[in-house]
A and B are shown apart, each in its own frame.
Chain A
Amino acid sequence: MVLDIVMAPMALAPKTFNVGETIRVSVSFKYAVGVNTTVRFLAGPYYTNIFGKHVVDPCVGRADISLTAVSTPTPQTADVDFLLVPKTNGGIDNGTYGLMVWIEGTNAVAEQDNVIIVSGNPTGGLDISGILPMVMMLMMLGMVMPMVQGMGEGVTE
């Protein structure tokens, strides 16, 4: 099956949301399929760094949409909801994110950068989760170094 994807320019304005809120994404597309089938739509926020685009997995929402068999391209719409899971629950941090929607098992994907502004995560207090690996490494070094120094004792020339 050849998927003929045409990406139309989008003009989505950025919107601000609080963590814990649900976002409904509406998509439009055309489809043709030989038999009645169900496809899974997924939507969620993503961020971009030097390694590429990364979807915030805990926030991804899913919706199964039934498609009736048609042999000529037919307009269709679909809605996908996803929840902005708070950072404290392993979810999304405050910041600006892109919005991505795709159809599982196909190369149909639509996205736009910097349209979801997330706020509402507590910013106060000491968050040690980011430095915890470094602390652990320093503690291990603290345990190992005395043992290494002890092995060197008693060696004379």
Chain B
Amino acid sequence: MELKTLALDLGVFRVLQAGDDQPYQAGWYVDPITGQRVFYDPETQNFYTMAGGVYIPLGYMNPSPKQVAIAPGEKLRITISYKYSGPAITGAIEYFSVGVYGALGFDEKLVGKNTRNLPASTTPAAYTGSYTFTMPADVGSNWDDIYCKIYNGSPSVPQNLFGYENALVIVGKDPAISEFTIADFVKV
């Protein structure tokens, strides 16, 4: 059975210390990648952007850079990469999910978790994590979104989320037909 892989980059994060060590102060920041101005609220630990005069949480779902076709019974490996600097962390959770992303959020259909211990580091150290799903026989044709996050542990790391929309093409129990043409017709 073919193993298919998706890769996500969660970027850089650092430890969320108990008490007063918040990762960011409240205020406006500029995303160094997109140049977008975003507002950080330390109480909700969320970034917000302004749209039509309303502050809305910064989206964590993104258009997928590639699509993977996968059928029931096949295996899907999702790989994440991230960097960490800070004190040693025990029991951080790498979280992987396949599901349906819509107006009401992410409807998780498949979930996988790894527990990671991260050693102390004064400079950002690179890590990767992966989880392999076996697609069930009753996989829905709309289970085409994925997201991953890392959170929890002791001391706790701030939750980092990242996901892709339309990352999967589910080859389900209903056939997908294409290039359907009449080649010929004759009397028999």
Contacts and interface: CB of A to CB of B under 8 A. Distances in A.
B89 interface: no
Given A17-B187, A23-B187, A34-B72, A106 B182 contact: no
A29 B182 contact: no
Interface stretch (B6-14, B55-63, B171-179): B171-179
B179 A8 contact: yes
Given A22-B187, A71-B71, A33 B175 contact: yes
A8 B182 CA distance: 9
Given A69-B71, A71-B69, A31 B175 contact: yes
B71, B137, B179, B186, most chain A CB atoms within 10 A: B179
Interface residues of A, number: 49
A108 to B, nearest CB: 4
A106 B175 contact: yes
B17 to A, nearest CB: 47
- Contact residue range for chain B? 20 to 34
A2 B178 CA distance: 11
A117 interface: no
A32 B171 contact: yes
A50 B177 CA distance: 30
B117 interface: no
A1 interface: yes
B103 interface: no
The 8 closest A-B pairs by CB, nearest first: A34-B71, A1-B141, A33-B175, A108-B177, A71-B71, A29-B180, A1-B174, A34-B72
15 contacts: A3-B178, A22-B188, A24-B186, A25-B182, A27-B182, A28-B180, A29-B177, A31-B178, A32-B71, A34-B173, A35-B137, A105-B174, A109-B180, A110-B181, A112-B182
Interface of A: 1-8, 10, 12, 15, 17, 21-35, 37, 39, 67, 69-73, 77, 81, 99, 101, 103, 105-106, 108-112, 115-116
Given A35-B173, A81-B188, A109-B180, 8 more contacts: A1-B174, A8-B179, A12-B184, A22-B187, A28-B180, A29-B180, A33-B176, A77-B183
